[in-house]
Amino acid sequence: MTTKSDQSPTPDGSPEQSGEAIRQAAAATRRQVRREQRALLLRTPGFIVGSVIVLFWILTAVFPELFTVWGPKETVVDDAGQTLLRTPPNSTAWFGTDRLARDVYSRVVHGSRPILIAAPAATLIAAFIGSLLGLITGYFRGWVDEIVSRLLEAILSIPSILLAIVIVFTFGATNPVIIGTIGFLFIPPIARTVRAATLAEAQLDYVTAARMRGERSLFIISREIFPNVIGVVIVEVTVRLGYAIFTLATLAFLGLSGGNVTDPNWGVDVAQNYQQIVASVWWPTVFPALAIGILVIGVNLIADSIEKVLKS
Amino acid sequence: MTTLQNPPTATETPALAITDLHMSYVVRGKPREVLRGVTFEVRPGEAFGLVGESGCGKSTTAYAALRYLPRNGLITGGKIEASGRELTAMSGSELREFRAHDASMVYQDPVQAVNPVLQIGRQVAESFTVLGHSSGEARDLARKALERVHIADPVGVMERYPHQLSGGMLQRVVIAMALASDPSLLVLDEPTTGLDATVEAEVLDLVRELRDEIGAAILLIAHNLGVIRTMCDRVGVMYAGRMVEEGTVDEVFDGPSHPYTVGLLNSIPRHGLRKTDRELFSIPGNLPQIGDSLPTCVYVDRCPVVTELCRSEVPPIVDRSDWHWTRCHHPDRIGEIPEPEEIAADHLVGEEEVIGVHGVSKTFHQRSGDVPALVAVDLGFAEGETLGLVGESGSGKSTLAKTMLGVYEPDEGGAITLRGRPMATKATQRIEESIRSIQMVFQNPDSALNRSWTVRRILTRAVSKLTGVTGPEADSRAVEVARAMQLSERHMDMRPRQLSGGLKQRVAIARAFAGDPDVVVSDEPTSALDVSVQAAILNLLAELQRDVRTSYLFISHDIGVVRYLSDRIAVMYVGRLMELAPTDAMFDGPNHPYTEALLSAVPSVDGEAENRIPLTGEIPSPKDPPPGCVFHTRCHRFIEGTCDVLEPPVVEVRPGHTIRCHIPPDELAAAQAEDLGDLRDVLRAERQA
């Protein structure tokens, strides 16, 4: 192979005259695109609000004592030493007290920790296994795909809460079992999304080119295709995180939580207090329920913003 | 079109008048300027063309003409007037009214322009109910509209769904819908880009015919200069969001007065130019990105006749004639633009066959039955030879390429040989030497290059996989290959998205050449590129071939490009080779009737008279090929009782030129010469009248 040495009509980007061309091409470098995406993300109202919410709950999960006066299991007494039972929100107990005279505010603040440990752990398990299955089925298709996809659909066809109850009942309501169950339940949707993305990638000619130069499938999947579907995985993980929080709270509401009933837990607190709403004691139920709602909304706001920015 | 069919008068209100239009797109939160002061008018009954490379803003202008902008589009200045009404000032309902009654658009991809779940009849009728007709009337009108666009069985077609129609048929349906309101302005955005040349010709014929009938002003956007030349009265050349030259098509194409127009025209192979004659002209540098700040003259960085004046002053509009102007300081120095150099080195084609395809068939086994996609194909490549492969989509070109490369396994009985020895049929079973010897360049570099890999990684991986060299040695070999493709060191650490289309295709070519292959299969390597970039890639391919004597299988639908690069041309139809001939012989004739039709379908940039042979109907499915000669259903020289019964023999016209046809070559030659004679008579008569 020889190098072109004459300087007759220079095609685009040849070394001789390419300074300008390269400068222009580099104007849209990956780093700059990333920087612009980040700047745009930081300017998206949804992302800002979502981040503030999620950061707040993370802070309460890590340092709950910073936010509270009373302990979550402590009995609240007023200045006169009187035990405050079922007291509406007041200056001593901001969110009121429950039937055991515990501070609802303190229980809400302390309640973020279990859910913020279990939900991300479950989502990561699901993301790992789901991505792997999605990549394999999307790339190989054929009978591998048929079998795995049918199995995943079988899981999807059973109402997830029902399935979760069955599994947790069978193996016992411990934290690892609950995390594992939710991880398992979220494998099918993640696998399906990654499979769809992988199917589209596998149609592209760079995969054909790799096959034609004799690359092994493992190499094609892990090195060629995976880097191109990682954006899909990130979006899917943030979306699933919101669902995981919700599902965890639901299970706790149904009495399936990893801890003791007296431990602060939003779902458990809602379950233990909701019957008193008819007696106008709404605060021990509404505040933990609001906490669940706000955290899920915060996570979803972040998920939506990330998806929009990655697509713009 | 030599004269303006509708000489415009100054008093007439233009159907579309765009004045100093500025527009931006908001990308990642920042507005980026895409139109920078576009001004033009389209008068009633006139066809105005807009040409330019991708990114010059021509499609944006088309959408702006209906004020139909994407969510992130922003008009920052200027006026858009349709028949005297200001579009930018219209309210939502006025605009809807305007689009319903006064303007229509035909989009590039007809498949996306129709609703896939509704029957054709309902969709066409809908465009009439919008105008206030009752549903009964609308159905009636829909049928008439379909008749008007020459759909053979309108009642039947109305019952069908979009996926049951071909691209050409669908585009007709879309045109029928666009004409429903009898619009005063019709915008066509690349209406034939996704279609085969033969179908393109049919659709263009239809538009041309309807033009006179409807009297609408037409704004036609196309990157294909031939389409513009044959369809339009006047043309505007756009560059970087500005109009640089405008005039009647004859004036602009025959006497271009802006260096950019000259560059565009010279970069396409015209007048039967061959790779042995001279290089193609390619425009150096790149189009400015949208949002870049522009110098005084938009073309200053790429202009071959640039002077200091161009850098300091915005060029004025220089009138060349009543209808022709250019935005250039030096329209009189156009003649000084150097022609590309003549090619001095000989182009040697070896004698020995490097890769041979012998009696190769490929049948796809589907649930619904067997599909013979290739039927007994025989081909051979000599060293340093280019074999051009042409045919409509669905003719089996890509299947042949992929079978040669081992992506598909051919049927028993055929053989693909490397220097006389048969190769394993599947790529995974081929020995390294066979894999190395035959490589492929794909149509779309965006799809062919892994976007998360750097150029360096793409090339070193190919080098080490194909030659077995690893480590720093592979890296230096990769750099060497890249340099041969005129890529520089700086490109090595970039990722595909940072490169322009042309550079990407260079990387793809570099990857194919990484292992020093004997044959490179190129499947439409330039059809996704702009003409000036296409020229650079064709030059590169021709140069590589001169230097390292690689053979090419060059698949393309662009006859001009195939003619430029090929030594021999093969014509395929329904998986069979219909004609195989050295390039000159192919263009001298006689030809297979199918070749004849293909060659006649190309819209010419040179304004030569057309004698188009219509290919009626669609290419038959290989699943159910017609009996006898597969082409007999569409052949204009069909002999009843012979062609539909007997398989035609392969006849040798002259050494190396074979035709698969029942009509003897001398008869074909006589008939084809006679048709040409008829045409000359017609032309002579027209001239006298």
Give me the pLDDT at residue B611, please.
67
Give the single-character DSSP code of B102. T
Mean pLDDT value of segment A134-143? 93
Residue B404 has pLDDT above 70, yes or no: yes
Distance from CA of A224 to the nearest CA of B (A): 7
Residue B3 has pLDDT above 70, yes or no: no
Phi, psi torsion values for A277, nearest 5 degrees = -60, -40
Residue B1 has pLDDT above 60, yes or no: no
Does B497 sit within 8 Å of A28, measured CB to CB? yes
Give the single-character DSSP code of B429. G
Which residue does chain B place closest to A20, by CA atoms?
A: B285
Q: Considering CB atoms only, which of B292, B301, B440 is closest to A212?
A: B440
Distance between CA atoms of residues A36 and B452, nearest Å: 18
Can you read off the two tokens belonging to residue B110?
């007809």
Distance between CA atoms of residues B362 and B374, nearest Å: 5
Q: Considering CB atoms only, which of A10, A40, A228 is closest to B29?
A: A40
Does A204 sit within 8 Å of B286, measured CB to CB? no
Q: Considering CB atoms only, which of A12, A43, A228 is closest to B536?
A: A12
Classify B84 as helix, strand or coil: coil
Sign of the dihedral defined by the CA atoms of residues B141, B145, B146, B148, in that order: positive
Q: Is the CB of B25 inside 8 Å of chain A's CB atoms?
A: no
Reported confidence tier of residue B412, pLDDT bands at 50, 70, 90: confident
To the nearest 10 degrees (0 to 180), the angle between helices B455-467 and B501-513 is 20
In contact, B230 and B587? CB cutoff 8 Å: no
Residues of chain B numbered 380-409 and touching chain A (CB < 8 Å): 405-407
In contact, B125 and B142? CB cutoff 8 Å: yes
Q: Is the CB of B311 inside 8 Å of chain A's CB atoms?
A: no
Reported confidence tier of residue A51, pLDDT bands at 50, 70, 90: very high
Give me the pLDDT at residue A296, please.
94
Q: What type of residue sits at position B353?
A: E
Q: Is the CB of B282 inside 8 Å of chain A's CB atoms?
A: yes
Q: What is each CA distance from A104 to A11, A67, A250, B229, B418, in whole angstroms?
A: 72, 13, 19, 79, 81
Mutate to test the interface with B, among A18, A24, A201, A213 (most CBs of B within 10 A): A213
Does B536 sit within 8 Å of A11, measured CB to CB? yes
Lowest mean pLDDT among A104-113, B6-15, B315-324, B504-513: B6-15
Give me the pLDDT at residue B680, please.
57
Reported confidence tier of residue A10, pLDDT bands at 50, 70, 90: very low
Note the pLDDT tens digit of each residue in B575-595: 899 999 999 888 887 889 999
Residue B250 CA to chain centroid, in angstroms?
A: 22
Residue B338 CA to chain centroid, in angstroms?
A: 27
Lowest mean pLDDT among A14-18, B124-128, B477-481: A14-18
Lowest mean pLDDT among A33-42, A104-113, B17-26, B385-394: A33-42
User: Residues for chain A: how many in total?
Assistant: 312
Can you read off the two tokens belonging to residue B579?
């004609």
Reported confidence tier of residue A134, pLDDT bands at 50, 70, 90: very high
Q: Considering CB atoms only, which of B452, B532, B544 is closest to A228?
A: B452
Lowest mean pLDDT among A18-27, B223-232, B541-550: A18-27
Q: Considering CB atoms only, which of A3, A9, A40 is closest to B340?
A: A9
Q: How many CB atoms lie within 10 A of CB B182?
A: 12
Q: How many CB atoms lie within 10 A of CB B364?
A: 14
Q: How many CB atoms lie within 10 A of CB B513?
A: 23
Question: Of A55-59, A207-211, B56-60, where does the model show the most confidence?
Answer: A55-59
In contact, A25 and A18? CB cutoff 8 Å: no
Does B498 sit within 8 Å of A26, measured CB to CB? yes
Give me the pLDDT at residue B462, please.
93
In contact, B360 and B377? CB cutoff 8 Å: yes
Q: Is the CB of B333 inside 8 Å of chain A's CB atoms?
A: no
Mean pLDDT value of segment B651-674? 87
| Helix (H), strand (E) at residue A13 | none
How many Cα atoms sit within 13 Å of B136 on the Cβ side? 0
Does A29 sit within 8 Å of B28, measured CB to CB? no
Enumerate residues 6+ apart whose C-beta is below 8 A from B79: B17, B18, B19, B20, B21, B86, B88
Reported confidence tier of residue A312, pLDDT bands at 50, 70, 90: low
Enumerate the residues of chain A whose CB falls inside 8 A of the CB of residue B286: 12-13, 20-21, 24-25
In contact, B113 and B174? CB cutoff 8 Å: yes
In contact, B628 and B647? CB cutoff 8 Å: yes
What is the side-by-side order of every strand in the sheet holding B657-660?
B438-441, B519-523, B551-555, B386-390, B568-573, B576-582, B657-660, B650-654
Reported confidence tier of residue B509, pLDDT bands at 50, 70, 90: very high
Average model confidence (pLDDT) for chain A? Answer: 86
A vs B: CB pairs below 8 A: 160
Note the pLDDT tens digit of each residue in A224-279: 999 999 989 999 999 999 999 999 999 999 988 888 888 899 999 999 999 988 88
Residue A156 CA to chain centroid, in angstroms?
A: 19
Does A17 sit within 8 Å of B430, measured CB to CB? no
In contact, B324 and B252? CB cutoff 8 Å: yes
Q: What is the domain partition of chain A in residue ranges?
A: 112-263
In contact, B225 and B264? CB cutoff 8 Å: yes
Residue A8 has pLDDT above 90, yes or no: no
Q: Considering CB atoms only, which of B447, B448, B500 is closest to A13?
A: B500
Q: Considering CB atoms only, which of A3, A25, A43 is closest to B499?
A: A25
Angle at the Cα of B526 from the Cα atoms of B521 and B531, rounded to 5 degrees: 155
Enumerate the residues of chain B whose CB falls inside 8 A of the CB of residue A37: 28
Enumerate the residues of chain B whose CB falls inside 8 A of the CB of residue A24: 286, 288-289, 292
User: Residues for chain B: how many in total?
Assistant: 689
Give me the pLDDT at residue A30, please.
59
Residue of B533, B482, B486, B534 whose CA lies nearest to B512: B482
Q: Do β-strands B242-248 and B325-326 pair in parallel, antiparallel, or remain unpaired?
A: antiparallel
Q: Look up the ipTM and state it.
A: 0.77
Which residue does chain A place closest to B484, by CA atoms?
A: A3
Note the pLDDT tens digit of each residue in B46-88: 999 999 888 788 888 988 888 888 888 888 888 898 888 888 8
Q: What type of residue sits at position B8?
A: P
| Helix (H), strand (E) at residue B470 | none
Distance from CA of B33 to the nearest CA of A (A): 15
**For residue B590, cis peptide bond before it (omega within 30 degrees of 0):** yes
Higher pLDDT, A55 or B275: A55
- Judge: domain A112-263, CATH 1.10.357.10: no
Distance from CA of A193 to the nearest CA of B (A): 20
Distance between CA atoms of residues B661 and B649, nearest Å: 6
Note the pLDDT tens digit of each residue in B292-317: 777 678 888 888 888 888 888 888 88
| Helix (H), strand (E) at residue B59 | helix B58-64
Name the residue with tokens 């049927």.
B411
* B451: alpha, beta or left? (left if phi > 0; alpha if psi -120 to 50): alpha
Q: How many CB atoms lie within 10 A of CB A83?
A: 12
Give me the pLDDT at residue A70, please.
87
Residue of A73, A161, A179 whose CA lies nearest to A117: A179
Enumerate the residues of chain A whose CB falls inside 8 A of the CB of residue B288: 24
Q: Do β-strands B30-42 and B185-189 pair in parallel, antiparallel, or remain unpaired?
A: unpaired
Distance from CA of A34 to the nearest CA of B (A): 10
Residue A177 has pLDDT above 50, yes or no: yes
Average model confidence (pLDDT) for chain B? Answer: 85
Q: What is each CA distance from A189 to A10, A143, A193, A198, A240, in whole angstroms?
A: 51, 20, 6, 14, 9
Note the pLDDT tens digit of each residue in B170-213: 888 999 999 888 888 999 988 887 777 788 888 888 888 888 78
Mutate to test the interface with A, among B28, B54, B408, B538 (most CBs of A within 10 A): B28
Distance between CA atoms of residues A152 and B409, nearest Å: 33
Distance between CA atoms of residues B293 and B311, nearest Å: 14
Enumerate the residues of chain B whose CB falls inside 8 A of the CB of residue A5: none
Can you read off the two tokens belonging to residue B410?
């051919």
Does A213 sit within 8 Å of B440, measured CB to CB? no
Distance between CA atoms of residues B302 and B655, nearest Å: 46
Residue B40's DSSP bridge partners are B18
Reported confidence tier of residue A21, pLDDT bands at 50, 70, 90: very low
Distance between CA atoms of residues A138 and A132, nearest Å: 10
Lowest mean pLDDT among A25-39, A264-278, B450-464, B621-635: A25-39
Mean pLDDT value of segment B350-379? 86
Q: What type of residue sits at position A101?
A: A
Does B28 sit within 8 Å of A33, measured CB to CB? yes
Residue A22 has pLDDT above 70, yes or no: no
State the greatest distance between any 2 C-alpha atoms of chain A, in Å, as a whole number: 98
Distance from CA of B107 to the nearest CA of A (A): 23
